[in-house]
Structure 1
Amino acid sequence: ELPPFVDPRTSRDFIHVDDACAAFVMAAVKLHPQIYGESFNIGSGRKTSIAELAAVTKTLFSVAQEPQFGSMEARSWDLADWYADPSKALASLGWKTTISLEDGLRSSAVWVGSLSEEDFASNSKKDSSKRKRSVSAVIACYKDSQAIPVMHRRLTDTFLKLGIDYEIIFVNDGSPDDSAQVISTISATDPRVIGISHSRNFGSQMAFRSGMELSTKDAVVLMDGDLQDPPELIEQFYAKWKEGWDVVYGRRVKREMAWHWGLMYKAFYRVFASFSYVSIPLDAGDFSLMDRRVIGWLLNCPERDLFVRGLRAYVGFRQTGVDYVRPERMFGVTTNSLLKNIDWAKKGIFSFSNTPLTMLTAAGVVSLALSILAAVVVALLRILIPDIAPRGATTLLITILMFGSLNLFAIGLVGEYVAKIMLEVKGRPRLIRAALIRHGVSTELLPNGKTR
């Protein structure tokens, strides 16, 4: 069946993809200072009208239908005749086309005929509304070498069950174990697996960003590598995404841990939510599925002291949660501690809340009012009832100690915000990728992102 056509006199220059690729290869091989910055027309140099193209197509593929010229409106900004002058490419690069229009159409037909229905739909606009969406899984790994093979198997089983296109990106965040080697071994047998190795440990948040920057699918799932985020939950995330939700996060209704730790985590999320100037969902960690446009806005956020779950709430869009019970680590022991959890709480609160400064201002105003009131009361007592007026240094020392402690607390609180400002204005790299792992090969990366 022939498609709609514009005016039959409109002409174009048709070139086969193999010839175009050969031109790029020849340009790279022949590159020298004399041609730096030069432009080359890559084409056959043959002016082929739409009428000629239709006639060739009818002959090659035995199409009985007559072409309907003028059934498609020409673009107002386009040229009627558009074909290349490849003489410069021939003179400087020694390149010219080797595949005729007729041979190119035949080989293209053979390639299309070799595609399955699913492959054809994914590589064309056919049934695009029914095409299944693709997902990138980004896994932050630190001391998780034992868990990585299990994570890969469970993720693969989940994606195969969904019947979707996918990729799995393991980010080795400076792990001291053999995580890089384990990722390399898996990628040697599974081309859908990509590994990223950082030059040192930059933290899980930067590991997520590193993976998101290299992801290529329609959505991204963020997961910790310790298997506390069950991969099987992605099936429910995907269903919610298909319903129209842009962000689907896991909501931890229960944790398999000591009761006092669980209580502390729940308290943090509620304090964080009450302090934050954006609406933060309760008990929602980093485990989530985000649509590609949400990822785009997340990556546009320039901060270096990253707090993904806060930024996820900040960018907005349609968000919903899926309840689950968070299990204990399958291998090893947790790398968290009380001090790390306190630092984590500070990161979230100071990144998305001005409430501590507001409380400090309020405390200063109240303290000033109480000081003035106390001074007035003491003065009146000295004048009216001197016998009961407070005397001695004890009261003075207690007052000085109280206000001195308040000042130290205020300085420390302001210092936390200043420290975050310093981290941002230094402009250091957010993360450093040391190597990229694909097909079992680890390739060292240069600062410009190119391979060594």
Structure 2
Amino acid sequence: MPKLSVIIPCYFNEDNIPITVPELIANEANFPAGLTFEYVFVDDGSRDNTLQALLRARAQYPDRVRVVELVGNVGSYNAIVAGMAHTTGDCMAVITADMQDPPELMVQMYDYWLKGFKLVIGNRQDREETGLTKKFAETFHWLMKHLALSNIPDGGFDFVFFDRQVRDDVVRMQERNSNVFYLMVWLGYAYVNIPYVRRKREVGKSRWTVQKKIKLFIDSLLSFSYFPIRAISVAGIGLGTIALLYGLYVIGLKIFEPQGPAGWTALMVVVLFVSAFQMIALGVIGEYVWRGMDAARNRPLYVVKSLYGADATPVVSR
């Protein structure tokens, strides 16, 4: 029978772990008998007692739970790649530590994997969250679908089930400043999409700040789309056309009305507008240049401080 590795990135999740681990263990009963499991928890530089909670879980389930402790916080997506690099399963899943995604959906995902699909996506058809959090998520994924990757499912996703071959591709690429889930779709494997309603977070406080959301949007857009550069080109052509027409107007005014108004106000407006556009264009180009430099430095995506349970033997479900 195959082995299933479940990757769970953790950041300030000390209150979630005592709930998450038993729920994952209980969910094993829904799978076919004989399937083996391992749960790879990645502590992404948490500064609370997340690591201690994970070690207690490992002491309780030493044959299932493995812990990867990173030196510092590198972001959830890099933490996921770290977890992927330390898995040993034939198939894998990524799920959040706060249990907003239903673990029982993995059973259906596993069935599709057995049918030959190397990537199965659980996409958020709706979410119990309200307010700005929901609106931002909807806007983010709508923009990504229409500006970058047209083949991603509606509603967004970060709950995936995939084959070891997909894992090997992602880990080998070592993509920086990117979106690991979009990267799986970008690889081109045919996938199955399973819609579900994402739960509201019941325990703990989300550390997914507005700054991190904005950075993720910029990283995702620049990694999978040339739209920003193309927009600069189109805007430049438009401004050039306007400047040409305005120049013809000024020349005509000078010829036919030598005593006409000097046009200082209009000139200042044009100068300020063009200057603002140039600064924005330089900023966009700078984002691309910085990402190229970051890739050229070839620094590691993460640094592992400690591994707990690297030699653990998987348990067989009954």
TM-score, normalization by structure 2: 0.91
Residue number in structure 1 paired with 2:176? 304
From 330, 340, 345, give the equivalent of 2:202: 330
1:154 deviates by 1.4
Aligned-partner Cα distance in 2 for 1:284–1:261:
13
State the identity %. 29
Aligned-partner Cα distance in 1 for 2:126–2:82:
29
From 134, 157, 166, give the equivalent of 1:294: 166
1:373 deviates by 1.3
Residue number in structure 2 paired with 1:178? 49
Q: Does 1:262 align with 2:141?
A: no
CA contact (8 A) 2:58 2:65 kept: yes
Deviations 1:147-203 (A, max 9, x none): 112211111122232032111111111111112112112212311110110011111
- Structure 1 unmatched ranges of 5 or more: 1-131, 442-452
CA contact (8 A) 1:286 1:308 kept: no
Aligned-partner Cα distance in 2 for 1:354–1:181:
44
Residue number in structure 1 paired with 2:107? 235
1:427 deviates by 1.5
- Structure 2 unmatched ranges of 5 or more: 313-318
Alignment of 1:6-405 (within 5 A): 132-162=1-31, 163=33, 164-190=35-61, 191-276=63-148, 279-386=151-258, 390-405=261-276
Aligned-partner Cα distance in 1 for 2:305–2:269:
56
Amino acid at match of 1:178: N
Residue number in structure 2 paired with 1:416? 287
1:259 deviates by 3.3
Residue number in structure 2 paired with 1:102? none
Deviations 1:251-291 (A, max 9, x none): 11112222333222111111112221563333232210001
CA contact (8 A) 2:123 2:158 kept: no
Aligned-partner Cα distance in 2 for 1:301–1:142:
24
Aligned-partner Cα distance in 2 for 1:381–1:401:
22
Aligned-partner Cα distance in 2 for 1:329–1:400:
50
CA contact (8 A) 2:77 2:179 kept: yes
1:144 deviates by 0.7
Deviations 1:367-409 (A, max 9, x none): 111101110122113223456x553311111111100100111
CA contact (8 A) 2:42 2:68 kept: yes
Residue number in structure 2 paired with 1:30? none
Amino acid at match of 2:18: P
Aligned-partner Cα distance in 2 for 1:285–1:435:
30
Deviations 1:302-337 (A, max 9, x none): 323241112111112121211111112221221123
Q: Which has the higher contact order (CA 8 A, sep 6+)?
A: 2
1:135 deviates by 0.9
Aligned-partner Cα distance in 2 for 1:252–1:220:
19
Aligned-partner Cα distance in 1 for 2:107–2:274:
56
Amino acid at match of 2:273: M
Secondary structure in 1 matching 2:94: strand
Secondary structure in 1 matching 2:206: coil
Deviations 1:211-251 (A, max 9, x none): 11111111110112121222121112112222322111111
Secondary structure in 1 matching 2:13: coil
Root mean square deviation of aligned Cα: 1.9
Higher-Rg member (1/2): 1
CA contact (8 A) 1:245 1:319 kept: yes
Amino acid at match of 2:83: G
Aligned-partner Cα distance in 2 for 1:319–1:249:
7
Aligned-partner Cα distance in 2 for 1:268–1:304:
20
Secondary structure in 2 matching 1:297: helix
Secondary structure in 1 matching 2:95: strand
Secondary structure in 1 matching 2:104: helix
Aligned-partner Cα distance in 2 for 1:246–1:284:
19
CA contact (8 A) 1:151 1:231 kept: no
TM-score, normalization by structure 1: 0.65
Deviations 1:116-155 (A, max 9, x none): xxxxxxxxxxxxxxxx432100000001111112211111
Aligned-partner Cα distance in 1 for 2:50–2:244:
63
